[in-house]
Chain A
Amino acid sequence: MSLLHLAVLSPLLLALLIPFLHKHFRNIHTGWFLLPLPAVLFGYFLQFISVTRHGDTVMESLPWISSLGIDFSLKIDGLGLLFALLITGIGALVVLYSIYYLSPEKEKLNTFYIYLLLFMGAMLGVVLSDNLIVLYSFWELTSFSSFLLIGYWNHKERSRYGAQKSMLITVFGGLSMLGGILLLYIITGTFSISETIAMSNEVVNHPLFTATLILFLLGAFTKSAQFPFHIWLPDAMEAPTPVSAYLHSATMVKAGIYLVARMTPVFAHSGTWVWLVAGIGVITLFWGSFSAVKQTDLKAILAFSTVSQLGMIMSLLGIGAAALHYGTIKDGYYIVAVTAAVFHLINHATFKGSLFMVTGIIDHETGTRDIRKLGGLMNFMPITFTLAIIGTFSMAGVPPFNGFLSKEMFFTGMLRVAEMDIFSLETWGILFPVIAWSASVFTFLYSMIYVFKTFTGKYQPEKLEKKPHEAPIGMLVSPVILASLVIIFGIFPNVLSHNIISPAMGSILPSLLADGESFDVHISHWHGFSPELFMTLGVIVLGLLLFKTLSKWTGIYRIFPERLSLNHLYDGGLEMIEVASRNITKTYMNGFIRTYLVYIFSFLIFILATTMIYKDAFKLDFSNVAPIRFFEVVLVLIMAVSAITILFAKSRLTSIILLGAVGYTVALFFVIFRAPDLALTQLVIETVSVALFLLAFYHLPQIRRNEERIRFKLTNALISIGVGAIVTLIALSSHSNKMFDSISQYYVENTYKKAGGENMVNVILVDFRGFDTMFEITVLGIAALGIFAMIKLRMTRGKEQE
């Protein structure tokens, strides 16, 4: 285990300690114990920049299930490092912010921080794993922790709804991705990402390629809230605001982006990939920003804005993938899209993180997030207002903030799509810049709505729960740091370009680089009077115009009926599934154990008989059997007579005793066939179960005679005779068909030599097949707990009703 493994697992390990810390240091806010960890991890990951900036990577491997090709291998390269820094850096700021946001008196801080740590560890695992199965495991863990965090205020109905929705959608995607991983394994024979990338040529030409690609993209699109799976993200806003800032804008939703970026070297050679990633990305970009305008909840605006920005990064990655078709880095005309994607990823984390924190402050200090109630807060919260201005103007793409730079590069990338001559982009490619530009207008618009509807306009104190005032200094530290980054990256973008952006691009487009080469990234503010500049100006002018005339045209949002919305489809679909499955279940589950036994035994007969006939395995060969002795005949007769008599028994006691007789006779059979262990077990089991029957029936009321008599039922008779016949036939056939040597000789030889025992049966139980035994006793334990729970629950419910 290397230091790197420890770093990835450290949040999970700290999570184990949280309950104790929470319990024993009640007067200290639990968040303070957490804060050092992401900060230290951030410092730890920072030192890897010196490695990745030269295009080198760090690889640490820990054998896990080596026989299946699953190793806990971690790899630090430019892309993974960028995400690791985001996770730990934003993580530290969010923890600091949450200390002031969540009050230790009202909230269950221990569970909150355990979930948060689970998420942090899982997310680090996702971005640093080099093994697809390990990546998948961490991926699902992020879904689970997100589920728990969204449902953190689980007394609220909306929280539970949002948590379930996000869980269903992201886990659906996760399972699809697992399918993709398995298909990829079938193609390449390895789970290692590095090895898979090296084999990308074989992957592209494989017949399973398209299926694999689509399954992977389902995983990425659901996680990153791409159209039409974006509907879970707005509902996820029920989580506490620090969580929204961290999981649902800065890190977890970018896991899908990470996956797309990571798999680009494998899949990008196909037109399907370029079209799907870029196309869905652009649709999401437009739909997200278009829907954001009609929202009235500040967090809902940010949620749709996140959806739209994720779509933007996604589309840039899709277009960047097309760059692979144009040879080398020398004519890096289309690579600008990938640069923009990576740069905007960082920028989005900074400005959206600070905006979420600003929203949290507004919510915290006024008691509402509804823009219809807010207004004129500028005078009460000057610092928050400044932060909001920086964040929104960066989001809108206004100079000199970092959002402007990445937005310009985004336009450049989109404009160049129209010039591409592959995958029929020359005809439809023109749509990309058009949609992208109109989406940007809406982005500008909702940014303005966010800041001006909240901070300017009429102050309405009667609608607010609290009297607004500036937030405490602790809550302001984190957003101030993020907002400063927005400005610093805006003015000096090139601090990032060589250290972070270029190595990350090297991981996304490795095939364009020769050995030792790296992408030469230079971001500048002024490109001359280029089309991009005019596009930005157009966005600002039209955006302002639309903002001024907002009330005149918002009617268009009502044209689209609620009944046709995706949310309606989701809710309706869920309900339909529930109703349909309940109805199907009702047709055969009637609550009587005897009916279920009929199903089980009929199926047993059916499946066994079919297999035996299909395989032509019925074969009776009496040449090698021992003669039947008198003693055995007597035992069989006793057994048969007792079994048949049970059917006619008039009292329960008689039935129990007769059943016991059958059991003991079987034990005698084991004795004469020299199986002492079996005989002993059978004897004791029989004794205990007879006692159990007696105990259970001891208190039952006397049952009237006419109910006691079992009526003759043809089906039941046929089924019981059928089971008997089929089992007998299988026993005889298995004796007659000797297809391979018996394994018993192995045990005879090795029981003493390898396990130091002489009783073969027991040595098999505890040693050779110890795994079986272990799981058997586990199953036994679960069964006992089940019986305990069922009976105890029934008893307490009975008491409540009385």
Chain B
Amino acid sequence: MKTNDVILQTVTKFTLFVIILFSIHLFFAGHYYPGGGFIGGLMTSGAIVLLLLAFDIKTVKAILPIDYIKVIAIGLLFSIGTGAGALILDMPFLTHAFTYVDLPLLGKTSLHTAVLFDTGVFLVVIGVTMTIIQTIGESE
């Protein structure tokens, strides 16, 4: 089945980066504004799904040769590792810490261990969504 979707493909090439940038913004904004790892991860997966719709699975696999199952594993390691990190410092599991530092250009910035945890969530969400979509999409 040959379809002519030049417009979709061209638009995708531009918007893809915008969506991914926006999703990263959402991810980092999470602690103060609407957003976070879950939404950020979903948004990134949305971007990849758009890519899938505009091109086909084979092309996308060539562009992004990622094993999404490993992404799930890495994400889970991040989340559980952050939780377990507290144990080393003799605190209850999943105790978070935060502090504020002054960085050049950015000014006063907060640093959270919660970000590491959220990175795990972010990766797992991408991994899960893409694993499901890719497996079902490939199965024909």
Alpha-carbon separation in the docked complex, A781 to B76 (Å): 8
Contact of B72 among A694, A759, A784, A792 (CB under 8 A): A784
- Return the chain A residue nearest B29 by Cβ: A759
Contact between A795 and B43, CB atoms less than 8 A apart: no
On chain A, the residues within 8 Å of B72 by CB distance are 780-781, 784-785
Contact between A692 and B31, CB atoms less than 8 A apart: no
Contact between A756 and B110, CB atoms less than 8 A apart: yes
A755 interfacial contact with B, CB 8 Å? yes
Contact between B34 and A759, CB atoms less than 8 A apart: yes
A676 interfacial contact with B, CB 8 Å? yes
On chain A, the residues within 8 Å of B76 by CB distance are 777-778, 781
Interface string of B104-136 (1 = CB under 8 A from A): 000000101010011011001101110111011
Question: Number of B interface residues, CB 8 Å?
Answer: 53
Contact between A781 and B45, CB atoms less than 8 A apart: no
Q: A677-B35, A781-B124 are in contact. Are A774 and B80 (CB under 8 A)?
A: yes
Contact between A681 and B80, CB atoms less than 8 A apart: no
Distance (Å) between the CB of B121 and the closest chain A CB?
6
A688 interfacial contact with B, CB 8 Å? yes
A699 interfacial contact with B, CB 8 Å? yes
Residues from 735 to 786 in A contacting B, C-beta threshold 8 Å: 755-759, 761-763, 765-767, 770-771, 773-774, 777-778, 780-781, 783-785
Distance (Å) between the CB of A408 and the closest chain B CB?
56
Residues from 482 to 528 in A contacting B, C-beta threshold 8 Å: none
- Return the chain A residue nearest B112 by Cβ: A756
Alpha-carbon separation in the docked complex, A182 to B43 (Å): 48
Q: Which residues of B contact A (CB under 8 A)?
A: 26, 29-39, 42-43, 45-46, 49-50, 52-53, 68-69, 72-73, 75-76, 79-80, 83, 93-94, 96, 98, 110, 112, 114, 117-118, 120-121, 124-125, 127-129, 131-133, 135-137, 139-140
Contact between A695 and B136, CB atoms less than 8 A apart: yes
Is the contact region of chain B dominated by helix, strand, or loop, or is it mixed? helix
- Return the chain B residue nearest A792 by Cβ: B135
Alpha-carbon separation in the docked complex, A51 to B46 (Å): 68
Interface centre among A699, A767, A791, A792, by most B CB within 10 Å? A767
Contact between A765 and B38, CB atoms less than 8 A apart: yes
On chain A, the residues within 8 Å of B37 by CB distance are 766
Contact of B79 among A696, A757, A777 (CB under 8 A): A777
Contact of B98 among A677, A691, A699, A756 (CB under 8 A): A756
Contact between B96 and A767, CB atoms less than 8 A apart: yes
Distance (Å) between the CB of A798 and the closest chain B CB?
10
Distance (Å) between the CB of A583 and the closest chain B CB?
33
Question: Number of A interface residues, CB 8 Å?
Answer: 42
A208 interfacial contact with B, CB 8 Å? no
- Return the chain A residue nearest B98 by Cβ: A756
Distance (Å) between the CB of A399 and the closest chain B CB?
59
A787 interfacial contact with B, CB 8 Å? yes
A574 interfacial contact with B, CB 8 Å? no
- Return the chain B residue nearest A787 by Cβ: B132
Contact between A695 and B133, CB atoms less than 8 A apart: yes
Contact of B39 among A681, A694, A763 (CB under 8 A): A681
Alpha-carbon separation in the docked complex, A699 to B139 (Å): 10
On chain B, the residues within 8 Å of A758 by CB distance are 31-33
Contact of A688 among B30, B34, B46, B118 (CB under 8 A): B46
A211 interfacial contact with B, CB 8 Å? no
